[in-house]
């Protein structure tokens, strides 16, 4: 009777396996645990071992990877539609740049300067900063980093773009900061013999590109972005699309380049036909021409004049296409050619463009060639201001403003001192 009382006190009723507690344990099991506690411990241990054997393999708590908790969201100011996190801010900057049709090189440069501006001020959000922080960053670039004036102006343009176009905040001019002093460097110019030696040390498509730089006065990216339709053999001219500015212009096509260019286009055409058979042959088109002309990306006239040997992924939409040749390949080829020719000058791709302008002006002054007129050279080079073209006239002065050195002037033969002495 005492055991029955104890059972009813613990379980709250008679023994019935069908009656379950809210926790899903039968009353008989609860009574057994009360009367025989040691047996229940043994049963619990056996059940735990069974569960371990049937459970899938799991890592111990010490073997689990450490998870970094996300940072709490930054506070936002009311009325500002721009995200507060730097990553979302840079995404907004990238979207604005692409909406305004900025080039990928400008996009990468602006994003880099904006990131450096934020890191310089301890990852503060730009809308919490203003004119004093911009001035301190520009002063740091000029004093500590000792950057050139053009580099400092590029950083200022990127920051002003961030505030005016992305954050919709106006920065009141002027910006009082220590500005880098603009230097007036004369361009490095090759003689006609040196230019011929460099071109003679090159071969293949790299030589053809270098000849276009020197024979047509193209910039590096203008040469690489040429398409098949931009070469006019009948008019002997090259159409430069969206040069620096962006502005279109027409420049000359040397007659000596017509035969090698035709052979080069034949080889490129065969590669394009082979790529089309393999399911490739697509090329990137400017702006919305891809949707306006759906079949233009496979047409021959839209292909690059100097295509890349391998396919690449378009960073704008992720499509796999064939881009133009890498600019670093031509830069390295010209550098190696200058070393092989034994020219002790700092020669780059732009040096050939400098030489083109200088030699045109030199021929015009010597032979009264109309192509050597300063205005004609300005149009061929695509300069907005004639003052930029006037810098190439330094070679025509023959040094020292055409003043002859006294060492080069004829003079009487020196007399001996003993002849002037009295006997």
Annotated catalytic sites, by residue?
219, 244, 350, 353, 383, 392
Angle of helix 27-35 relative to helix 2-11, nearest 10 degrees, comes to: 130
CA distance 282 to 300: 10
Distance CA 327, CA 170 (A): 37
| Residue 371, token pair as written in the block | 């192509």
Nearest CA to 125 among 99, 161, 88?
88
Half-sphere exposure of 415 (CA within 13 A, CB side): 5
CA–CA gap between residue 408 and residue 423 (Å, rounded): 35
**Burial per residue of 149-168, b for 16 or more beta-carbon CB atoms within 10 angstroms, e otherwise:** eeebebbbebbebbbeebbe
Interaxial angle between packed helices 37-54 and 27-35, expressed in degrees from 0 to 180 and rounded to the nearest 10: 120
Q: What is the largest CA-CA distance in the chain?
A: 165
Q: In the 3-class helix/strand/coil scheme, how is 304-345 assigned residue by residue?
A: ECCECCCCEECCCCCCEECCECCHHHHHHHHHHHHHHCCCCC
Distance CA 202, CA 184 (A): 32
**Which residues are bridge partners to 326 per DSSP?**
none
Local structure of residue 61 (DSSP, 8 states): G
Distance CA 255, CA 236 (A): 7
Per-residue burial over 217-254, b if 16 or more Cβ lie within 10 Å, else e, is bbbbbbbbbbbbebbeeeeeebbbeebeeeeebebbbe
The Cα 372–Cα 358 span in angstroms is 9
State whether the Cα torsion 135-141-142-143 is positive or negative: positive
């Amino acid at each position: 009777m005492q055991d029955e009382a104890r059972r009813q006190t613990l379980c709250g009723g008679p023994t019935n396996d069908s009656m379950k507690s809210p926790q899903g344990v039968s009353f008989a099991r609860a009574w057994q645990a009360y009367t025989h506690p040691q047996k229940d411990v043994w049963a619990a241990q056996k059940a735990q071992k069974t569960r371990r054997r049937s459970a899938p393999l799991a890592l111990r708590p010490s073997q689990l990877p450490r998870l970094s908790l996300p940072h709490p969201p930054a506070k936002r100011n009311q009325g500002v539609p721009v995200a507060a996190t730097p990553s979302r801010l840079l995404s907004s900057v990238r979207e604005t740049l692409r909406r305004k049709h900025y080039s990928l090189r400008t996009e990468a440069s602006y994003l880099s300067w904006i990131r450096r501006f934020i890191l310089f001020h301890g990852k503060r959000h730009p809308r919490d900063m203003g004119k004093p922080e911009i001035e301190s960053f520009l002063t740091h670039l000029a004093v500590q980093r000792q950057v050139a004036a053009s580099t400092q102006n590029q950083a200022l343009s990127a920051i002003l773009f961030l505030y005016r176009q992305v954050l919709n905040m106006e920065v009141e001019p002027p910006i009082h900061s220590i500005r880098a002093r603009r230097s007036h460097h004369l361009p490095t110019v090759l003689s006609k013999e040196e230019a011929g030696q460099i071109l003679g040390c090159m071969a293949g498509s790299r030589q053809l590109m270098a000849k276009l730089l020197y024979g047509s006065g193209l910039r590096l990216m203008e040469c690489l972005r040429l398409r098949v339709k931009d070469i006019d053999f009948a008019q002997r001219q090259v159409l430069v699309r969206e040069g620096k500015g962006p502005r279109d212009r027409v420049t000359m096509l040397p007659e000596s380049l017509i035969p090698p260019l035709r052979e080069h286009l034949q080889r490129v055409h065969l590669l394009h036909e082979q790529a089309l058979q393999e399911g490739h042959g697509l090329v990137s088109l400017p702006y919305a021409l891809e949707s306006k002309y759906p079949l233009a990306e496979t047409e021959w006239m839209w292909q690059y004049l100097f295509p890349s040997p391998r396919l690449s992924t378009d960073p704008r939409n992720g499509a796999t296409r064939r881009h133009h040749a890498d600019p670093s390949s031509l830069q390295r080829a010209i550098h190696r050619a200058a070393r092989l020719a034994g020219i002790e000058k700092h020669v780059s791709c732009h040096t050939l463009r400098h030489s083109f302008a200088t030699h045109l002006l030199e021929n015009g002054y010597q032979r009264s060639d109309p192509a050597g007129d300063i205005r004609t050279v300005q149009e061929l080079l695509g300069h907005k201001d004639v003052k930029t073209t006037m810098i190439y006239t330094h070679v025509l002065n023959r040094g020292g403003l055409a003043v002859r050195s006294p060492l080069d002037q004829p003079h009487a033969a020196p007399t001996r001192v003993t002849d002037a002495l009295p006997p």
